[in-house]
Amino acid sequence: MGDIEKRIRESFAAQTMMQTLGAEVAEVADGLVRIVAPVSPLALQQQGFGHAGLTFSIGDSAAGYAALTMMPPDVDVVTSEIKINLLAPARGNRLIATGRVVKPGRRLCVVTAEVHAEAEGDTKLIAILQGTIVPVSAA
């Protein structure tokens, strides 16, 4: 495991929200992070689909961590703004969020994330996020 992946996994482990959702880091590369989470019975909306809050949470984290892969060791990141387009219900047993850096920067980093729902081996795009991540001091 490289330094960047170790850094991402250690930071991710400190996010109690991700632990609550059962989310895990599945992949780390320069400018890309993939997070997976089960659609548990505790993360459903009233019609039985995965809740948009679950979709948003893992999409935001995947995008933010993708930005962090591009930052020096003394810099952390926070989300300044992020929007979501929900494209389809979160039908399935697992969600997969893939965050990517569109434009890295010293003051602002533009990111996107796609979230797919997985059911019986098939995946469907259910949401797209786009936002701005702000580098901050890690200290």
Domain chopping of the chain, boundaries: 3-137
pLDDT tens digit sequence for 81-130: 999 999 999 999 999 999 999 999 989 999 999 999 999 889 999 999 99
What does the alpha-carbon distance between residue 100 and residue 19 come to, in Å, rounded to a whole number? Answer: 22
**pLDDT at residue 55 in the model:** 98
**pLDDT at residue 2 in the model:** 85
- Which tokens belong to 11? 């930071």
Q: Has this prediction a pTM greater than 0.85? A: yes
pLDDT tens digit sequence for 24-60: 999 999 999 999 999 999 999 999 999 999 999 999 9
Nearest to 84 by CA among 45, 128, 54, 27: 128
Sheet harboring 32-38: ordered strands across?
24-29, 32-38, 94-103, 109-119, 122-137, 75-86
CATH superfamily of 3-137: Hotdog Thioesterase (3.10.129.10)
Helix ranges restricted to H, the chain: 3-13, 16-21, 52-68
